[in-house]
């Protein structure tokens, strides 16, 4: 009997394509749903920010000076990133030659190449970093010495070496164990580590001490209750040796949740009302679980990023091989740079929610306005930066936007 | 390369008179006074010599003889004080003392090197400070360091510590342990070359290689030894970031070290009861030692490539060669920590030598892409002593660490414990 031509092969392939497409669509849907859930904010959806003229809050001299100050730093940063990409591209192309400097196995050699990649980056960035220090010193924003800046950067490089070694140990280990699909396991693994790091971050911040000032401590207790997170502890970080810029941050979650106030905020330049607004803002981050949400966004970034790294390193035999590490480093850093505007959108979104939360907790729009003006003048922050700089570098709303939000809150309250 | 113009000659039989050793630092009081007087004259002589050499390109004969005699005398006096020789030295730095110098006659010198001699001598002085100290220099300062009015006697670094250990050994046995004597001789030899360079006796830079300091290097059959290949080329990029690149290794050393600490305690009990190292524990501890010294070799620039993380034998250019552990005397096992104190103290002083060699080697490697052989070998001596001390404290072997420059012979795996090895203080 003559054999019938079989249609099983193409049908089988079509089935797989359909299944793959369905799975990809499901994953994309899941990704979009998660992004939508993370995007949720307590800032009223239809809130329109009124126009605020910066000249009504700041002198013409300050506006000109701050614009000049930030423009230099922005251009310095852009140039640094251009150089960084060029250097990394060269390293991706030629870095594998440094394998001859290793007597370690594939993973150890991969670690060496990863660390040397960061070392080359540090060397390339150094002139731009020193230019930034010079500019900040010139404007009185920082009094850090050049040698101290270099040494601090060099020592900090050790932390980056440790990070990249650990990351490569995991990624290359997975690539050697499970092959091309290593990224499927790596993304959740790195997310888990980021979660752990967020949980433990309070223990990783140097030079912290308990907040002792009774008035500020009482305000923090009151505001924490108002934000719905009573019992949140506040600590002070000593940074005055390096900078005069004021700042605060919120870290951790659950039992490690902390409000950190820089000692430059408590040196007498800021009023009690202004410090209360800062505290409420940071407590707002904690109340709305922003540290955890940042981990969520990281997970959404890592899934496509690791997949892309896995794809683009195939030409060098995949991440199981050390010669692929320079390429992986290039892809990772370029992805970070390309997605920086997106990260900034997310960050500004969270900051706006924290501002809104602070206004609700303090009921002190005058204090908030005074704070934002004061922050701008002490940090020499341009209240209304250039559009391109805002898109690429602004991870907070501009001072003008923050002042506008205060006005919007007052308008709503008056209704 | 030709011989260094300032060479140490050692004709010492290690025998010491206990009574003079007991009082040695007091017996030398007349020499201290004489050294001070001579040193004042040397200050004027070297200034005159500097001008003359700068103009003529060669040190005048009379000045060269005067300064050479001074360096010879100081060397003999140090040899006496540090127990590297037995007889009371003469006051004129004449020939024939058991530890002496041969100093070549005046030779043409580069005027540039003469003009900047004060600056050029700084790296050698830094290294000499870790070995023997130099007038006006102190690595330890404060309570440990002592400086005379001219700053000539002084610093309790490696050589002084070796002399103190030797003092006890001589009082007990009437003999100076060869390892300590050779170590002291190496330090004195290097110090003499630094002084000769500073006083314009030669423009040849001091040679820090311990193998080159002594004419007669013993062949040792120690169970723990450190070997390195002859490659001196270094990658400038990895040299510049060397300490940071070793960070992942430090983390791994720390984690592995926790298990090793527990294993070493278990090993101590096992050897105490059975007289032998259990095979599995021996392998585990040996692998850690190999790994540890791969990392140290990388960190201190004694080898170039980035090491692996498992301490595999033969995987790295710098190798801790470890013999199969043999039988050990139980009383030495019982008292191992106490017996190890002198070696631990010496290891600590060797640490300063190792760090200085690495620091100077770091600059040299960045400038030339090569690690200087002398610094590499000085680092190897320090690291070998550290290896032997660690192996001794881990109760892998009961051979006491040997502190002097030595060549390697094949170890005898099942060698019975020797009284010499146990009591020599190496």
**Segment B192-210, tens digit of pLDDT:** 999 999 999 999 999 999 9
Size of interface A-B (CB pairs under 8 A): 68
| A103 in contact with chain B, both atoms CB, cutoff 8 A | yes
User: Based on the domain organization, do B225 and B319 belong to the same domain?
Assistant: yes
Q: What is the pLDDT of residue A8?
A: 62
CB atoms B245 and A101 under 8 Å: no
> Does the residue A234 lie in any domain?
no
User: Based on the domain organization, do B371 and B263 belong to the same domain?
Assistant: yes
Could you tell me where the DSSP H helices lie in A40-105?
A: 60-94
Q: pLDDT tens across B262-301, in order?
A: 999 999 999 999 999 999 999 999 999 999 999 999 999 9
Q: Determine the Cα–Cα distance for residues A16 and A10; give it in Å rounded to an integer.
A: 10
> Does the residue B166 lie in any domain?
yes
Average pLDDT over every residue of A184-196: 94
User: Based on the domain organization, do B227 and B330 belong to the same domain?
Assistant: yes
Which residues between 208 and 227 in chain A have a beta carbon less than 8 angstroms from any beta carbon of chain B?
A: none
Q: What is the pLDDT of residue A14?
A: 87
Q: What is the pLDDT of residue A4?
A: 53
Enumerate the β-bridge partners of residue A260. A235, A249
Confidence of residue B144 (pLDDT cuts 50, 70, 90): very low
The tokens for B333 are 């096992």
CB atoms B248 and A165 under 8 Å: yes
Residue in chain A closest to B310 (alpha carbons) equals A104
Confidence of residue A126 (pLDDT cuts 50, 70, 90): very high
User: Based on the domain organization, do B133 and B238 belong to the same domain?
Assistant: no
> Does the residue B1 lie in any domain?
no
| B245 in contact with chain A, both atoms CB, cutoff 8 A | yes
> Does the residue B381 lie in any domain?
yes
Q: Tokens 């062949």 map to which residue? A: B219
Enumerate the β-bridge partners of residue B408. B220
In Å, how far are A26, A238, A302, A304, B149 from A188, measured between CA atoms?
18, 35, 8, 12, 69
Q: pLDDT tens across B362-408, in order?
A: 999 999 999 999 999 999 999 999 999 999 999 999 999 999 999 98
User: Based on the domain organization, do B205 and B267 belong to the same domain?
Assistant: no
Domain enclosing residue B41, as ranges:
6-213
User: Based on the domain organization, do B251 and B364 belong to the same domain?
Assistant: yes
| B215 in contact with chain A, both atoms CB, cutoff 8 A | no
In angstroms, the separation between the Cα of residue A158 and the nearest Cα of chain B is 5
Confidence of residue B416 (pLDDT cuts 50, 70, 90): very low
Average pLDDT over every residue of A271-275: 94
Domain boundary (B213, B238, B263) is at: B213
Average pLDDT over every residue of A153-180: 93
Which residue of A101, A120, A154 is in closest CB contact with B305?
Answer: A101
**Cβ burial A305-320 (10 Å sphere, 16+ → b, else e):** bbbbbbebbeebebbb
Average pLDDT over every residue of B109-113: 94
> Does the residue A257 lie in any domain?
no
CB atoms B306 and A119 under 8 Å: no
Pick from A98, A101, A106, A153 the residue to mutate for testing the B interface (most B CBs within 10 Å): A101
Confidence of residue B36 (pLDDT cuts 50, 70, 90): very high
Average pLDDT over every residue of B221-235: 93
In Å, how far are A136, A255, A280, B77, B337 from B289, measured between CA atoms?
49, 42, 55, 40, 18
B399 neighbors B385 (Cβ within 8 angstroms) = no
> Does the residue A274 lie in any domain?
no
Q: Determine the Cα–Cα distance for residues B29 and A89; give it in Å rounded to an integer.
A: 70
In Å, how far are A262, A324, A355, A400, B115 from A271, measured between CA atoms?
15, 54, 18, 21, 63
User: Based on the domain organization, do B209 and B224 belong to the same domain?
Assistant: no
CB atoms B307 and A115 under 8 Å: no
- CA angle (B135, B136, B142) in 5-degree steps: 115
| B219 in contact with chain A, both atoms CB, cutoff 8 A | no
Which residues in chain B have their CB less than 8 angstroms from residue A157's CB?
241, 244
Confidence of residue A5 (pLDDT cuts 50, 70, 90): low
Enumerate the β-bridge partners of residue B318. B228
Q: What is the pLDDT of residue A125?
A: 94
Residue in chain A closest to B236 (alpha carbons) equals A101
**Half-sphere exposure for A52 (CA within 13 Å, toward CB):** 20
Residue in chain B closest to A97 (alpha carbons) equals B235
- Please determine, for residue B143, whether its predicted confidence score (pLDDT) is greater than 80: no
| B309 in contact with chain A, both atoms CB, cutoff 8 A | yes
User: Based on the domain organization, do B249 and B358 belong to the same domain?
Assistant: yes
> Does the residue A330 lie in any domain?
yes
| A101 in contact with chain B, both atoms CB, cutoff 8 A | yes
Pick from B249, B304, B308, B316 the residue to mutate for testing the A interface (most A CBs within 10 Å): B308
Q: What is the pLDDT of residue A9?
A: 72
| B348 in contact with chain A, both atoms CB, cutoff 8 A | no
Number of structural domains found in chain B = 2
B199 neighbors B123 (Cβ within 8 angstroms) = no
Q: What is the pLDDT of residue B140?
A: 42
Pick from B306, B308, B318 the residue to mutate for testing the A interface (most A CBs within 10 Å): B306
CB atoms within 10 A of CB A37: 10
Q: pLDDT tens across A286-310, in order?
A: 999 999 999 999 999 999 999 999 9
Average pLDDT over every residue of A159-182: 93
CB atoms A98 and B244 under 8 Å: no
> Does the residue A163 lie in any domain?
yes
- Please determine, for residue B426, whether its predicted confidence score (pLDDT) is greater than 90: no
Q: pLDDT tens across A18-51, in order?
A: 998 999 899 899 999 999 999 999 999 888 899 9
- Please determine, for residue B14, whether its predicted confidence score (pLDDT) is greater than 70: yes
CB atoms A116 and B237 under 8 Å: yes
User: Based on the domain organization, do B272 and B192 belong to the same domain?
Assistant: no
Residue in chain B closest to A169 (alpha carbons) equals B248
User: Based on the domain organization, do B362 and B224 belong to the same domain?
Assistant: yes
User: What's the sign of the alpha-carbon dihedral A288, A292, A295, A297?
Assistant: negative
Backbone φ/ψ region at A145: left (φ over 0), alpha (ψ -120 to 50), beta: beta
Average pLDDT over every residue of A53-74: 94
- Of all residues in chain A, the percent with pLDDT exceeding 90 is 83
> Does the residue A360 lie in any domain?
yes
- Please determine, for residue B412, whether its predicted confidence score (pLDDT) is greater than 60: no
Domain enclosing residue A359, as ranges:
56-180+298-414
> Does the residue A310 lie in any domain?
yes
Number of structural domains found in chain A = 1
Which residues in chain B have their CB less than 8 angstroms from residue A161's CB?
244-245, 247-248
Structure-model confidence comparison of residues B136 and A267, the more confident one: A267
CB atoms A119 and B241 under 8 Å: yes
B188 neighbors B78 (Cβ within 8 angstroms) = yes
In angstroms, the separation between the Cα of residue B300 and the nearest Cα of chain A is 15
Pick from B240, B305, B366 the residue to mutate for testing the A interface (most A CBs within 10 Å): B305
Q: Determine the Cα–Cα distance for residues B266 and B271; give it in Å rounded to an integer.
A: 9
Q: What share of chain A is helix, strand, coil (3-state, %, to 5)?
A: 75, 5, 20
Which residue of B240, B247, B310 is in closest CB contact with A161?
Answer: B247
| B250 in contact with chain A, both atoms CB, cutoff 8 A | no
User: What's the sign of the alpha-carbon dihedral B326, B330, B334, B340?
Assistant: negative
> Does the residue B403 lie in any domain?
yes
Which residues, other chains included, contact B257 with Cβ-Cβ below 8 Å and sequence gap of 6+? B288
Q: pLDDT tens across A72-122, in order?
A: 999 999 999 999 999 999 999 999 999 999 999 999 999 999 999 999 999
Residue in chain B closest to A162 (alpha carbons) equals B248
Confidence of residue A6 (pLDDT cuts 50, 70, 90): low
CB atoms A103 and B235 under 8 Å: no
The tokens for B154 are 């002084």
pTM: 0.85
Q: What is the pLDDT of residue B411?
A: 60
Backbone φ/ψ region at B161: left (φ over 0), alpha (ψ -120 to 50), beta: alpha
User: What's the sign of the alpha-carbon dihedral A210, A211, A213, A217?
Assistant: negative
Pick from B234, B243, B248, B290 the residue to mutate for testing the A interface (most A CBs within 10 Å): B248
Domain boundary (B213, B232, B265) is at: B213
List the one residue out of B8, B185, B200, B3 whose CA is nearest residue B109.
B200
> Does the residue A140 lie in any domain?
yes
Dmax over CA atoms of chain A, in Å, equals 99
Which residues in chain A have their CB less than 8 angstroms from residue B238's CB?
98, 101, 112, 116
CB atoms B309 and A105 under 8 Å: yes
This complex has an ipTM of 0.80
By CB atoms closer than 10 A (0-12, 13-18, 19+), residue A116 is: buried
What string of DSSP letters covers A125-175?
A: HHHHHHHHHHHHHHTTSB---HHHHHHHHHHHHHHHHHHHHHHHHHHHHHH
In angstroms, the separation between the Cα of residue A95 and the nearest Cα of chain B is 12
Domain boundary (B163, B187, B213) is at: B213
In Å, how far are A235, B124, B160, B178, B382 from B349, measured between CA atoms?
43, 18, 10, 18, 9
User: Based on the domain organization, do B10 and B141 belong to the same domain?
Assistant: yes
Q: What is the pLDDT of residue B414?
A: 46
B359 neighbors B366 (Cβ within 8 angstroms) = no
- Please determine, for residue B424, whether its predicted confidence score (pLDDT) is greater than 60: no
> Does the residue B246 lie in any domain?
yes
Which residues, other chains included, contact B51 with Cβ-Cβ below 8 Å and sequence gap of 6+? none
| B98 in contact with chain A, both atoms CB, cutoff 8 A | no
Q: What is the pLDDT of residue B69?
A: 96
- Of all residues in chain A, the percent with pLDDT exceeding 70 is 98
CB atoms within 10 A of CB B190: 27
Q: What is the pLDDT of residue A42?
A: 92
> Does the residue B321 lie in any domain?
yes
User: Based on the domain organization, do B186 and B302 belong to the same domain?
Assistant: no
| A106 in contact with chain B, both atoms CB, cutoff 8 A | no
Q: How many residues does chain B have?
A: 426
């Amino acid at each position: 009997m003559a054999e019938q031509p079989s249609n099983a092969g193409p049908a089988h392939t079509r089935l797989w394509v359909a299944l793959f497409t369905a799975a990809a669509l499901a994953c994309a849907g899941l990704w979009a749903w998660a992004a939508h859930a993370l995007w949720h904010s307590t800032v009223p959806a239809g809130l329109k920010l009124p126009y605020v003229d910066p000249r009504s809050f700041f002198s013409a001299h300050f506006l000109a000076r701050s614009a000049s100050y930030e423009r230099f730093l922005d251009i310095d940063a852009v140039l640094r990133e251009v150089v960084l990409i060029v250097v990394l591209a060269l390293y991706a192309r030629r870095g594998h030659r440094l394998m001859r400097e290793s007597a370690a196995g594939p993973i150890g050699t991969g670690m060496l190449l990863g660390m040397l990649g960061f070392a080359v980056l540090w060397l390339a960035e150094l002139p731009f970093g020193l230019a930034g220090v010079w500019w900040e010193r010139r404007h009185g924003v920082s009094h850090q010495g050049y040698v101290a800046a270099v040494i601090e950067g060099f020592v900090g490089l050790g932390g980056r070496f440790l990070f990249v070694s650990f990351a490569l140990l995991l990624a290359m280990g997975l690539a050697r164990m499970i092959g091309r699909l290593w990224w499927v396991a790596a993304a959740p693994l790195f997310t888990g580590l980021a979660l752990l790091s967020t949980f433990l971050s309070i223990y990783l911040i140097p030079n912290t001490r308990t907040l002792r000032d009774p008035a500020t401590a009482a305000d923090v207790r009151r505001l924490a209750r108002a934000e719905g997170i009573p019992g949140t502890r506040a600590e002070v970080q000593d940074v005055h040796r390096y900078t005069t810029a004021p700042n605060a941050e919120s870290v951790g979650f659950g039992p490690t949740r902390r409000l950190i106030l820089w000692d430059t905020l408590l040196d007498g330049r800021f009023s009690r009302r202004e410090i209360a607004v800062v505290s409420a803002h940071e407590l707002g981050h904690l109340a709305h679980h922003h540290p955890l949400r940042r981990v969520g966004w990281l997970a959404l970034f890592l899934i496509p990023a690791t997949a892309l790294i896995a794809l683009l390193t195939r030409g060098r035999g995949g991440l199981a091989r050390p010669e692929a590490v320079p390429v992986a480093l290039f892809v990772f850093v370029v992805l970070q740079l390309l997605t920086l505007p997106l990260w900034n959108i997310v960050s500004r979104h969270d900051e706006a929610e924290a501002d809104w939360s602070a206004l609700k907790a303090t009921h002190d729009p005058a204090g908030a306005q005074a704070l934002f003006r004061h922050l701008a003048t002490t940090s020499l922050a341009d209240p209304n930066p250039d559009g391109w700089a805002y898109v690429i570098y602004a991870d907070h709303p501009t001072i003008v936007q923050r002042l506008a939000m205060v006005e919007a809150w007052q308008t709503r309250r008056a209704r | 390369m030709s011989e260094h113009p300032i060479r140490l000659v050692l004709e010492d039989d290690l025998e010491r008179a206990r009574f003079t050793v007991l009082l040695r630092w007091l017996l030398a009081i007349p020499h201290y006074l004489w050294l001070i007087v001579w040193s004042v004259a040397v200050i004027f002589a070297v200034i005159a010599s500097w001008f003359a050499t700068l103009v003529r390109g060669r040190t005048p004969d009379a000045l060269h003889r005067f300064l050479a005699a001074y360096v010879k005398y100081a060397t003999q006096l140090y040899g006496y004080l540090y127990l590297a020789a037995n007889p009371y030295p003469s006051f004129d730095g004449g020939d024939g003392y058991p530890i002496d110098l041969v100093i070549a006659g005046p030779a043409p010198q580069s005027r540039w090197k003469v003009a900047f001699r004060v600056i050029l001598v700084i790296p050698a002085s830094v290294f000499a400070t870790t070995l023997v100290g130099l007038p006006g220099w102190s690595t330890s300062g404060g309570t440990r360091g002592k400086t005379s009015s001219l700053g000539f006697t002084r610093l309790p670094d490696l050589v002084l510590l070796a002399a103190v250990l030797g003092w006890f050994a001589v009082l007990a046995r009437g003999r100076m342990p060869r390892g300590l004597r050779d170590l002291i001789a190496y330090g004195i030899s290097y110090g003499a070359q630094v002084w000769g360079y500073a006083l314009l006796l030669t423009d040849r830079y001091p040679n820090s290689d311990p193998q080159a300091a002594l004419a007669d290097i013993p062949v040792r059959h120690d169970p723990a030894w450190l070997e390195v290949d002859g490659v001196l080329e270094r990658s400038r990029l990895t040299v510049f970031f060397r300490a940071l690149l070793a960070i992942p290794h430090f983390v791994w050393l720390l984690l592995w070290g926790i298990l090793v600490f527990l294993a070493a305690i278990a090993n101590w009990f096992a050897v105490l009861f059975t007289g032998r190292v259990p095979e599995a524990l021996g392998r585990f501890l040996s692998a850690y030692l190999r790994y540890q010294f791969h990392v140290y070799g990388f960190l201190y620039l004694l080898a170039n490539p980035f090491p692996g993380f498992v301490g595999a034998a033969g995987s790295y250019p710098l190798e801790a060669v470890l013999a199969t552990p043999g039988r050990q005397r139980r009383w030495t096992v019982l008292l191992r920590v106490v017996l190890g104190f002198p070696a631990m103290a010496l290891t600590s002083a060797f640490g300063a030598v190792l760090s200085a060699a690495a620091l100077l080697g770091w600059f040299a490697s960045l400038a030339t892409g090569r690690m200087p052989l002398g610094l590499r070998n000085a680092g190897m001596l320090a690291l070998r002593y550290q290896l032997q001390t660690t192996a001794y404290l881990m109760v892998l072997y009961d051979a006491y660490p040997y502190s002097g420059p030595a060549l390697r012979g094949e170890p005898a795996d099942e060698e019975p414990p020797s009284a010499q090895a146990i009591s020599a203080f190496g």
